[in-house]
Amino acid sequence: GAVVSQHPSWVICKSGTSVKIECRSLDFQATTMFWYRQFPKQSLMLMATSNEGSKATYEQGVEKDKFLINHASLTLSTLTVTSAHPEDSSFYICSSWTGRTEAFFGQGTRLTVV
Amino acid sequence: QKEVEQNSGPLSVPEGAIASLNCTYSDRVSQSFFWYRQYSGKSPELIMSIYSNGDKEDGRFTAQLNKASQYVSLLIRDSQPSDSATYLCAVAGGSGAGSYQLTFGKGTKLSVIP
């Protein structure tokens, strides 16, 4: 089946630094990639929707200057958390659809900001 | 605002019993309904998808959809300890890009007792 590969699976960074998370679609073209964030014991919350070759659409309350999304090709979308702070510590997950049938998720990235 | 409601649980069932998970959604134009299983620290894994009213069976899993009542459920027969996880109900639908956006419930934690 379709695979979305997400890296890194976990990262620890110092407060104030930036972290880049990559999601690659391995056997299909991901025109659209969705980025979610999940805090402990909470559900997945959509952060933004990225479309190849255009600007991402951010959900209300998500700072676009802090969470930079780049979707330069049909197989790669990246999320960069800039000037990370401890409150940004969370589980970040990307997702893409194949056709109209189902969404596939990356493995997730556990970000810890210390 | 789209909402998806689930009982957070925990739901405890003995091994071999039927586990019943329920979900209601607020947006009547929703078209696609999904059940995901999520183990702690892992990304969601698709269990079932359902698009039309009625029942859909796949092995030990049966999804039920009632669009008039805005209700979707998941039955797990012959529950196994390996089924212990959090089950997320997700809904997609509407028009344009929204048809691909998933709205998740907070999840129901299932524990299958050996």
pLDDT band at B16 (very low <50, low <70, confident <90, very high): very high
Q: Is B15 in contact with B54 (CB distance < 8 Å)?
A: no
Residue B87 CB neighbours (<10 A)? 24
Chain centroid to Cα A1, Å, comes to 21
Q: What is the C-alpha separation between A91 and B112, in angstroms, rounded?
A: 26
**pLDDT per residue as tens digits for the range B20-57:** 999 999 988 888 899 999 999 899 999 999 999 999 99
Higher pLDDT: B87 or A99? It is B87
Higher pLDDT: B41 or A11? It is A11
B93: nearest Cα among B36, B38, B49, B47: B49
User: Mean pLDDT across chain A, nearest whole number?
Assistant: 90
Q: What is the C-alpha separation between B67 and B61, in angstroms, rounded?
A: 20
B39 touches chain A (CB under 8 A): no
B30 touches chain A (CB under 8 A): no
* Beta-carbon separation of A32 and B41 below 8 A: no
Contacts of B46 in chain A (CB under 8 A): 102-104
A32 touches chain B (CB under 8 A): yes
The beta-carbon neighbor of B106 closest among A43, A107, A110 is A43
**pLDDT per residue as tens digits for the range B54-97:** 999 999 999 999 999 999 999 999 999 999 999 999 998 755 55
pLDDT band at A98 (very low <50, low <70, confident <90, very high): low
**pLDDT per residue as tens digits for the range A32-63:** 899 999 998 888 999 999 888 888 999 999 99
* Beta-carbon separation of B34 and A57 below 8 A: no
For A38-42, A99-103, B2-6, which range has the lowest pLDDT when averaged over its residues? A99-103
